[in-house]
Structure 1
Amino acid sequence: MSYLTEFAPGAGRLRPRAFFASDAPALGLDGVWRFRLAGSAAEVTPGFETDDFDDRGWGELPVPAHWQMHGHGAPAYTNVRYPFPLDPPHVPDENPTGEYRREFTLPNGWPEGPAVLRFEGVDSCFAVWLNGRPLGWSTGSRLPAEFEVGGVLRPGRNVLAVRVHQWSPGSYLEDQDMWWLSGIFRSVTLLARPADGIADFFVHAGYDHRTGAGTLRVETGDGVRLTVPELGLADVPADEEHVLPRVEPWSAETPRLYEGVLSAEGERVPVRIGFRTVAVEDGVLKVNGRRVLFRGVNRHEWHPDHGRAVPPETMRRDLLLMKRHNVNAVRTSHYPPHPAFLDLCDELGLWVVDECDLETHGFQRVGWRGNPSDDPRWRDAFLDRMRRMVERDKNHPSVVMWSLGNEAGTGGNLAAMAAWTRERDPGRPVHYEGDRACSYVDVHSRMYASHEEVDLIGRRADEDGGADSTDGGGARRRTLPFVLCEYAHAMGAGPGGLTEYQRLFEAHERCQGGFVWEWIDHGIRRTGPDGTEWFAYGGDFGEPLHDGNFVADGLLFPDRVPSPGLAEYKKVVEPVRIGVADGRIEIVNGHDFAGTGHLEFRWSVEEEGVAVAGGRLDVPVLAPGERAEVAPPEVPAGKAETWLTVRAVLAADLPWADAGHEVAWGQGLLSPAPPPPARRPGPVTGKDGLLRVGPAVFEERTGRLLRLGGLPVDAPRLDLWRAPTDNDHGLHGRGTPDEALWRRLGLHRLRHRLVDVAVEDDALLVRTRVAPAATDLAVLADFRWWGDGDGLVLEVRAEPVGDWDCPLPRLGVRTAVPAALSHVEWYGGGPGEAYPDMCRAARVGRFAATVDELQTPYVRPQENGNRTGVRWARLTAPDGTGLRIDGAPAFELTARRWTTEDLDAARHTHELRPHDRVYLHLDAAHHGLGSASCGPGVLPEHRLTAGPRSLTLTFTPYRSAP
């Protein structure tokens, strides 16, 4: 097994070519294979590849699959660090090795002559035998490898044997922030290759945006003919240039594909053709002559039960979710996806940055010493990976940029990859974030640049390429388009700051959007003894080296339920802007290519969340970039707080959503709530050490609330703490993380001291001092209670004492009510959670949910579930008893069956155990979320700085729902 110490990428393989299906015979070899896992390469089975080897004592494993996901070994997660010593090209002797055997019968009528055995993906290195004969070996886990087998096949029974090693020299090139998983995880296929068939082809379909003409040429073998009925091309030479005076171009918004056929004497190949031209002009990336704005996501391949062996139906579901959430672009981080995914991108319409299977990030930890990117011994392996990606995916119109890989430093091998790619395919720009000098790339790409820096880059004022850049090349860099290949780290609650990024993208022509990190949490589904499901992350499988829940950083939870972050992203990147303000409605078409003819605009008027009128809005069809003012509907003045909402929905079914699907919305206030009637507070009365204030009873000595009507309610206390979010942890942020500041100060262990209790002007005044130990910082809080009809009013005034040098997590009161009050209805922002810098998706309305439904099940428990701008909320028990809480004018609401301390202590959702109470947080303000788990922290305007704050609430108990 000398290949386990070689720099070469493989041996015995055929040259790379396009992925395509044809009418030539094919035999799928997916299914159940015989399998044995050896502990190392030295413990493999002698003779396992022979025809007569007896494998009846072996186990079974499905193909495609990872063996760790089926109980053979265990998954392991690291972000940057290699889980083995940096000793290239050597790997540890402890090298789990999977041995696979598959018997198959060649179908009757299988043609003699050339045939290809194709592996779509094997992690990380494999050698293959057919009928006892060695075919070769290969590295490059997420790239295809083909072997010629025509002379080895035989009629009837054939035996395929494959040996797969977890570690190989190729592992040094695959340090891609993901679970280390092994095996044959993509399909295996046997393909007949007719001698007079089509070996390969490259579709060149350009579009001239000035004339509307298309040019079509298919680079392929001699004698191949092309037929495209819709274009009037019937059996024409494929390799000639065909000029078509009028074609419909392909774009992510209008994914027009023309169906055609390539034919040779021995084979017919269906092709899908999308006309489009990609170019960088005047420092702007354009497709078909128009600037494009990426509303993108980074996408690892992931399934919580199958790992990177993602079923085709799951890929389609992902793409439908993307389209329905206004995502228009995907970066295939950090390797080429399954080829079926790109077929779907062509069909449904998404821009794709196709990224090579390359990352050497772990060398950064040793100052990039020995980094393969600049070691000539690795050059063939680097070029091999690029060739295999480009050749496989070159015919996809959705692919608009080639990416050399990710976080592999810099060096001559990367430059060589770029040079080869430009020569092979000059029609697509080359991307690579690590080339800060932009010496061999066509776009300036960055990760997690701050808003301030993006603004500088947009104004071409970024002199040094960024705060962490020491590279030169500023003059060239400033002539290039700018893309944030990663931003807005979607780990846990968040990300915050999306709106501010989008404003910069839309303000600066050079700033062409970005790709949120990332699409999905990579949690692995586990089931507890009681049947409770939860999702595992790094460290849950006993890994000696791991990076915890940093693998759970997506806009989808592992089970593909959208997170609040995805709802926020959908709103922020809406391709249509709807402004409702000052008695007018403004519609702006933000599409790059599509008009608004596919949309219908609907309006509704709600009084305190109850619909009172609605209809269709007459909006002219707008071309990209056009705007129009529309007269608002005439509606009578509301008797309560009244809002007008305008929605843009699909007018008819599209391939990715049904008619009525909401694309965008806007909302404006028509009339505010009338002021409450003036009432004289009821008197405070006392007896037997108790005080009665309205419907409530207090302890006279302490001013502590004991009962509210018939409800036992925990006395509200000032609260400053929240269970830190992943962004509060600031795992890879700038400066000291917020959580570290808060814990250092002791905000998680506040102490309360009663200062005074008094009755003044028919109100009970309770003054407290709230402070952490070991500091003289504090917050003085005055609780003023008085009766108001059937309700109890609380006015809280908080005043910080001392020089606070950090923001507060939250400021409000914490209380608890009986667990039976499990149904919540509220009027305010909803339906999902919201925080100061993640609240665009919250619209004003009337919503209802159970307490359990208010929780957001982040893979690692943390602060979640806040509802913003709540005017009033009702908590109701099944028997109709309940509590209404009104704000003056509004408050932030969180309701949970566990405490903040429970959330703070838990590592997984299944560790949270409900109490016999519902814990309420009624807040005046919250600190923002930011993106500091791998990006910028909370912007200044969203920081909760220490200062005077007030909160006014009215509590009204009731025995039957109003």
Structure 2
Amino acid sequence: MPPSYFEDPAPGRGSLAPRAAFASDARAVSLNGTWRFHLSPSLAAAPEGMHAEDFDDRAWDTLPVPAHWQLHGHGKPAYTNVHYPFPVQPPEVPSDNPTGDHRLTFDLPADWPDEPAVLRFDGIDSCGRVWLNGSELGVTKGSRLPSEFAAGHLLRPRGNVLAVRVHQWSAGSYLEDQDMWWLSGIFRDVTLLSRPSGGVADYQLHAGYDHVTGEGALSVTAADGVLLSVPALGVEDLPAGETVRLPVEPWSAESPRLYAGVVHTAAERVPVRIGFRTVVIADGQLKVNGAPVLFRGVNRHEHHPESGRALPRESALADIELMKRHNVNAVRTSHYPPDPYFLELCDVHGLWVIDESDLETHGFGDLGWAGNPSDDPQWTDAYLDRMRRTVERDKNHPSIVLWSLGNEAQTGRNLAAAARWTRERDPSRPVHYEGDFECEYVDVYSRMYADHEEVDRIGRQEDPNARRRAMPFLLCEFGHAMGNGPGGLLEYRELFERYPRCQGGFVWEWIDHGLTRLDAEGRAYFAYGGDFGEQIHDGNFVIDGVLHPDRTPSPGLVEFAKVFEPVRITATAGGIRVANHYDFLSLEHLSFSWAYEEDGVAVASGDLAVPSVHPGQSAEVPLPPLPDVTGEGWLTVRATLPEATAWAPAGHVVAWGQLPVVPAPLPPTAATGAALRFEGAELHLGAGTFDAATGLLTTLGGHRVHGPRLDLWRAPTDNDRGSAPSEESQWRAAGLHRLQHRVAAVKRREAELVVRTRVAPPGLGFGLLADYHWTADAGRLRLRVEVEPDGEWPCTLPRLGLRMAVPGSFGAVAWFGAGPGEAYADSRQAARVGRFARSVEELQTPYVYPQENGNRTDTRWLRLTSADGAGIRIDGEPLFDFSARRWTSEELDAARHTVDLEPGELLHLNLDLAQHGLGTASCGPGVLPQYRLHAQKAGFTLTFTTVDGPA
């Protein structure tokens, strides 16, 4: 074979026809484990004859399989989102093409049958050439798709030598530009499978459901002699090609009923799980079992911070459990078919799946799509091969309700051909592809990052394209979860629920792709693009998930869970409305309870009787008997699981709602009792000491403090940095990161200190006039801040509030307000009113790329105390936001990784009237108008007191 085989745009060679992924009672041997490994900088430098049985590999390194060699000290990872990291001249790739040679010697089990056998590779990136006992089996491309090679004729009892040469770059790399780390190697399972004569070569289950009659139609397509048995349904030895109809329970993502069965011949038995469901498009909607579904979905790359796409099974299970616990009901397998085990879990636990082919050519967009393989006939076989292998491998999963042709490969004849083949091969599932903008060959209309206004227009049927108007609409990507965010999820949900054709979407994306790395001091952090010396990279754009790399849920996932909860609990004039937003389930599987709190302290609780509520309906239930309270009263109602499920323990909260019952009492009378005293360079007012020249507070009850003074800056979020011109660029152009404070006057009155200031950036003519009005009485120091714009403001404000520094020993934080997690103007649905306590460290959200985080909103009062209980308390009149951290906003702004943040001696406290919203401008729409913060006349009041011991 000529050395250019890896540059051939055609699919690989020598592999068997694709078939369903399945396990059976036929013998199988995992070849995972420790292999011999040698990396060469190019094919020309690779050792000759490495495939020979007698080749001496004793001096080679070892490498685990599955694995990526870059994550084991051989070469380095590289991240790009769009750009190809090599010159674009398809199908050619660089001569400097890292080549990894893998060798394994293995013995057969003593009882290995004398039958045909195949070697199965579930994933090789990007091109592998395979030899067994010196004989070539073939070449595989399509990195995230399986290839099987006939091997039985070459096997021997002992000393089998399997050799695989893997090239980092191949023609296939042009089809795999999928916004992820470029990582190479044999990264999924390698298995030797006995294939008994007369066994089950392949099969396809058909399990439709008639929602009118309640009957399932069951059959199996397979070779003659293959039978299907399903004991629970009384089906015994149903021949292939025959159909039986019988009453069944349907499968759905909400109730994933599976029937255990077996596809069998005299020579082989294949256990199967059968889910009865029918997917159709009718009345402009995608319907399953007769009902439209709303996709509350996420896009999922496979990722682990140590092993990359060589994902451990326990991580796949963790993903499923986290999705279910956070009200995710759908997954788009971006942008390739996942490990088959993940789809098994989707069947068992219940998730709708868009299964996507291993295809993306995004880098050609930088070239105006010139040379894009999607419309080039020499790539047709590759496109069809990738789609064929996807469909054949995954065809028996009831969780899959849509096939996707790939992602961001523009359009062309090859995608149209793949759509035709898919529809003919499997008419039971519609075809998806976002890049077919005119919807010429797809069955659903799909967009990514459409803003709320566009979705509203689509919902109102204002699209000029009649074909699109007749289709279900999906946002295959929305809510870009990069860093702090996304904002605006609530408004998307409201659109999905307003317009029947708008059937939800898939947040981008599930997990941050950070890779674990150690700094010079041995401290672990998560690396992103550019951290490995890449010349071309896209920085932290790979850090855009609702999970942190270690699979800790981000505040964005907590917000998603609240926004898309399947039960809506709200107040009515006379009681509580409980609305069912499931697609299929009634509410009988949930328990409801209530808790009543006064000023954040529980005073009563009990169970709540809720009648059976069917999907799409609601019921009003009366308020439970509540005790009289004199403080602020809040009723919280929770819907929980009464019994453990496979994905959550008993008591797991599926949904909650909080109802205001008694408003907060009026704030205490304004503090005006204490006199202002002047002593040298200091002013004394109540518990406060002030610098006489600047009017700044310097001590509070004997505690050294600095400030507060007006603050407008926040460490920009990824979303602040997105779009053009970005909010961050406008803020920096306006000098908001380097404001200067001019004290215009310090006015001393008998019982009041008034400090008049102007806060403005250097070199520019606009600013804010800020007046601080201080008064005091016994134990309380009251501050009224009045702000007024001065001049023409050119941009929004990051925040409007006060900044002050307090002793670092005040590390225990308690508050009455919204919590427990961070919240912002357009991402605050998950915050409830209550009393919460955290350490300062626990208030931080460790975003991989440090940025503004940790804001708590709607705070009534805040206590900051040391270990002995001494500290300060701050009350709002009525509310304020706060954040507390051991570094300044400027230090947070300068940091690029979490290890860059060094705790200082002081605690830096922000007390805000408001902050600018988050939006999703890192890739998508910016902040909605109602959440944008503008310079305008404003005022807010805070009261400071000292705390001498535990509350």
Smaller-chain TM-score bracket: over 0.9
Aligned mates of 1:578, 1:761 — CA distance in 2: 52
Residues of 2 paired with 1:446 and 1:788: CA distance? Answer: 60
Q: Which runs of 5+ in 1 are unaligned?
A: 464-473
* Matching residue of 1:468: none
Q: 1:682 aligns with which of 674, 680, 698?
A: 674
Within 2, Cα distance between the matches of 1:574 and 1:516?
15
**Which residue does the alignment assign to 1:471?**
none
Q: Among 745, 748, 762, which residue is 2:737 paired with?
A: 748
What's the TM-score, normalizing by structure 1? 0.98
- Say if 2:704 is the partner of 1:712: yes
- Answering whether residue 158 of structure 2 is matched by residue 173 of structure 1, we say no
Q: For 1:281-430, what aligned pairs fall within 5 Å after superposition?
A: 281-430=282-431
> What corresponds to 2:780 in structure 1?
791
Which of residues 478, 500, 508 is equivalent to 2:499?
508
CA distance in 1: counterparts of 2:778 and 2:665, whole angstroms: 18
Query: 2: distance between equivalents of 1:751 and 1:525?
Result: 40
- Cα shift readout 1:647-668 (whole Å, capped 9, x = no counterpart): 0000111111111000000001
Question: Could you tell me whether the CA contact under 8 Å between 1:752 and 1:771 is conserved in 2?
Answer: yes
Which amino acid letter does the alignment assign opposite residue 879 of structure 1? D
- Residues 744/224 of structure 1: CA separation in 2 closer, same or farther (3 Å cut): same
The question of 1:182 aligning with 2:171 is answered no
Q: Which residue of 2 aligns with 1:666?
A: 657
Q: Deviations over 1:151-175 (max 9, x none)?
A: 1111222010000000000000000
Counterpart CA distance in 1 for 2:227 and 2:707 is 82
Q: d(CA) in 2 for partners of 1:810 and 1:763?
A: 27
Q: Hey, what's the Cα distance between the residues in 2 that align with 1:501 and 1:100?
A: 49
Spell out the pairing of 1:937-956 with structure 2 (5 A cutoff): 937-956=926-945
Verify: 1:517 aligned to 2:508, yes or no: yes
SS of 2:754's equivalent in the other structure is strand
Among 581, 586, 590, the alignment partner of 1:595 is 586
Say which SS state the counterpart of residue 313 (structure 1) adopts.
helix
State the Cα distance separating 1:75 from its structure 2 match.
Answer: 0.1
SS at match of 2:138: strand
Alignment of 1:240-279 (within 5 A): 240-244=242-246, 246-279=247-280
Check the 8 A contact 1:706/1:713 in 2, yes or no.
Answer: yes
Q: CA deviation at 1:528?
A: 2.8
Give the letter for the 1:709 counterpart.
G
- Tell me the equivalent position of 1:842: 831
Q: CA deviation at 1:199?
A: 0.4
Distance in structure 2 (CA, Å) of the matches to 1:479 and 1:761 = 74
| Structure 1 residue matching 2:93: 3-state secondary structure | coil
Q: Aligned partners of 1:531 and 1:546: how far apart in 2?
A: 25
TM superposition score normalised by structure 2: 0.99
Q: Does structure 1 retain, via aligned residues, the 8 Å contact 2:667–2:877?
A: no
Determine the C-alpha separation between the residues in 1 that align with 2:4 and 2:196: 34
Q: How far apart are the structure 2 equivalents of 1:681 and 1:550?
A: 56
Task: Show the counterpart of 1:861.
Answer: 850
Corresponding position: 1:927 with 2:916? yes
1:881 paired with 2:873, answer no
Match of 1:192 in 2: 194
- Partner residue in 2 for 1:576: 567
Structure 2 residue aligned with 1:458: 459
Q: Which residue of 2 aligns with 1:890?
A: 879
Corresponding position of 1:219: 221
Where do 1:894-933 residues align within 5 Å?
894-933=883-922
Show the counterpart of 1:498: 489
Q: Alpha-carbon deviations, 1:492-523, whole Å to 9, x = none?
A: 00000000000000110000000000000000
In the alignment, the residues of structure 1 paired with residue 920 and residue 463 of structure 2 have an alpha-carbon distance, to the nearest angstrom, of 22
State how far apart, in whole Å, the 2-side matches of 1:373 and 1:165 are.
23
Report how far residue 681 of structure 1 moved.
Answer: 2.8
Q: Say whether 1:144 aligns with 2:146.
A: yes
Query: Residues of 2 paired with 1:680 and 1:785: CA distance?
Result: 9
- RMSD of aligned Cα (Å): 0.9
Whole-Å separation in 2 of the counterparts to 1:654 and 1:626: 25
Corresponding residue SS for 2:251: coil
- What's the counterpart of residue 715 of structure 2? 723
Q: Provide the C-alpha distance between the structure 2 equivalents of 1:761 and 1:625, rounded to a whole number of angstroms.
A: 64
Where 1:392 maps in the other structure, the secondary structure is helix
Note the C-alpha offset of 1:38: 0.6
Counterpart of 1:467 in structure 2 is none
CA distance in 2, matches of 1:837, 1:282: 34
Aligned to 2:527: 536
Displacement of 1:583 in angstroms is 4.4
Read off the aligned partner of 2:525 and give its amino acid letter: W
Match of 1:758 among 747, 771, 795: 747
Counterparts of 2:572 and 2:817, CA distance in 1: 18
User: Cα offset for 1:480?
Assistant: 0.3
Q: Runs of 4 or more off by more than 6 Å in structure 1?
A: none
Distance in 2 of aligned mates of 1:313 and 1:754: 60
Match of 2:758 among 763, 766, 769: 769
In structure 2, the CA distance between the partners of 1:104 and 1:424, relative to structure 1 (3 Å rule), is: same
Q: 1:619 maps to which residue?
A: 610
Q: SS state of the match for residue 640, structure 2?
A: strand
- Separation in structure 2 between the aligned mates of residue 276 and residue 761 of structure 1, nearest angstrom: 79
Check the 8 A contact 2:404/2:432 in 1, yes or no. yes
Give secondary structure in 2 for the equivalent of 1:571.
Answer: helix
Map Cα deviations across residues 52-81 of structure 1 (whole Å, 9 max, x no partner). 111110000000000001010000000000
Q: Secondary structure at the match of 1:633?
A: coil
* Cα separation, 2, equivalents of 1:119 and 1:677: 72
- Number of equivalenced pairs: 948
- Displacement, 1:782? 0.4
Structure 2 residue matching 1:297: 3-state secondary structure: strand
Match of 1:113 in 2: 115
**2:628, 2:518 → 1: CA distance?**
55
> Which is further off, 477-486 or 945-954?
945-954
1:10 counterpart SS class: coil
The answer to whether residue 554 in structure 2 is matched with residue 553 in structure 1 is: no
SS of the residue 1:716 aligns to: strand
Q: CA deviation at 1:530?
A: 3.4
Deviation at 1:45, TM superposition (A): 1.0
Secondary structure (helix, strand or coil) at the match of 1:156 reads coil
Q: 1:130 aligns with which of 129, 132, 148?
A: 132
SS of structure 1 residue aligned to 2:925: coil
Write the distance in 1 (CA, Å) between the matches of 2:339 and 2:622. Answer: 49
SS at 1:227 equivalent: strand
2:787, 2:437 → 1: CA distance?
A: 48
Q: Which amino acid aligns with 1:72?
A: H
Contact 2:126/2:142, CA 8 A, preserved across alignment? yes
Report the CA distance between 1:22 and its aligned residue: 0.5
- The separation in 2 between residues aligned to 1:858 and 1:424, in whole angstroms, is 45
CA distance in structure 1 between the aligned counterparts of 2:609 and 2:429, rounded to whole angstroms: 41
Contact 1:9/1:139 (8 A) holds in 2: yes
Instruction: Find out whether 1:481 has 2:472 as its counterpart.
Output: yes
- Displacement of 1:680 in angstroms is 3.9
CA drift of 1:636 comes to 2.3
Distance in 1 between residues matched to 2:573 and 2:645, nearest whole Å: 34
After superposition, the C-alpha distances for 1:422-453 in whole angstroms (9 at most, x for unaligned) are 00000000000000100000000000000000
Q: Offset of 1:316 from its aligned partner?
A: 0.3
Q: Is the contact between residue 453 and residue 462 of structure 1 (CA under 8 Å) also seen in structure 2?
A: no
CA contact (8 A) 1:637 1:671 kept: no
2:565 partner letter:
E
Q: Is the 8 A contact 1:581 1:668 kept in 2?
A: no
Instruction: Give the distance between the partners of 1:657 and 1:333, measured in 2 at CA.
Output: 26
Q: Distance in 1 between matches of 2:39 and 2:522?
A: 29
Contact residue 225 and residue 262 of structure 1 kept, 8 A: yes
1:682 is displaced (CA, Å) by 1.5
> SS at 1:415's partner residue?
helix
Q: Deviation of residue 529 (structure 1)? A: 4.0
Separation in 2 of the partners of 1:287 and 1:523? 36
Secondary structure of the corresponding residue to residue 6 of structure 2? helix
